[in-house]
Amino acid sequence: MTATRITVRGDSPYDVVVGTGVLGELPGLLSAGVRTVAVIHPASLPEIARPACGVLEAAGYEVVALPVPDGEEAKTIEVAAGLWSALGRYGVTRSDAVVGVGGGTATDLAGFVASTWLRGVEVVQVPTTLLAMVDAAVGGKTGINTPEGKNLVGTFHTPRGVLCDLATLVSLPREDYVAGLAEVIKGGFIADPTILMLIEDDPAGACTPEGAHTRQLIERKIQVKADVVGADLRESGLREILNYGHTLAHAIERVEHYRIRHGEAVAIGLVYAAELSRLDGRIGTDVVDRTRSILTSVGLPTAYRREAWPELRDHMRVDKKSRGAKLRFVVLDDIAKVSRLEDPSEELLEAAYQEVGR
74 annotated ligand binder? yes
262 annotated ligand binder? yes
Q: How far apart are CA 200 and CA 294, in angstroms?
A: 7
DSSP state of 32: T
72 annotated ligand binder? yes
Q: How far apart are CA 4 and CA 73, in angstroms?
A: 33
Task: Check if the beta carbon of residue 340 is closer than 8 Å to that of residue 288.
Answer: no
Q: What is the DSSP string of 139-152?
A: SSB--EEETTEEEE
- Catalytic residues, by residue number, are 119, 141, 183, 225, 235, 239, 243, 246, 250, 262
CA distances from 238 to 246, 333, 340 (A): 15, 15, 10
176 annotated ligand binder? no
Cα R_g (the chain), whole angstroms: 20
150 annotated ligand binder? yes
SS3 19: strand
186 annotated ligand binder? no
SS3 202: coil
Say if residue 336 is exposed, middle or buried (CB neighbours under 10 Å; 0-12, 13-18, 19+): middle
105 annotated ligand binder? no
73 annotated ligand binder? yes
321 annotated ligand binder? no
Q: How far apart are CA 118 and CA 128, in angstroms?
A: 27
Q: How far apart are CA 183 and CA 300, in angstroms?
A: 11
336 annotated ligand binder? no
Q: Which residues on adjacent β-strands are paired with residue 83?
A: none
Contacts (Cβ under 8 Å, ≥6 apart) of 277: 283, 287, 288, 331, 332, 333, 341
The values of phi and psi at residue 164, to 5°, are: -110, 95
Task: Check if the beta carbon of residue 267 is closer than 8 Å to that of residue 175.
Answer: no
Task: Check if the beta carbon of residue 45 is closer than 8 Å to that of residue 173.
Answer: no
183 annotated ligand binder? yes
Q: What is the largest CA-CA distance in the chain?
A: 61
Extract the annotated binding site for Zn(2+).
Answer: 183, 246, 262
Q: Extract the annotated binding site for NAD(+).
A: 70-75, 128-129, 141, 150
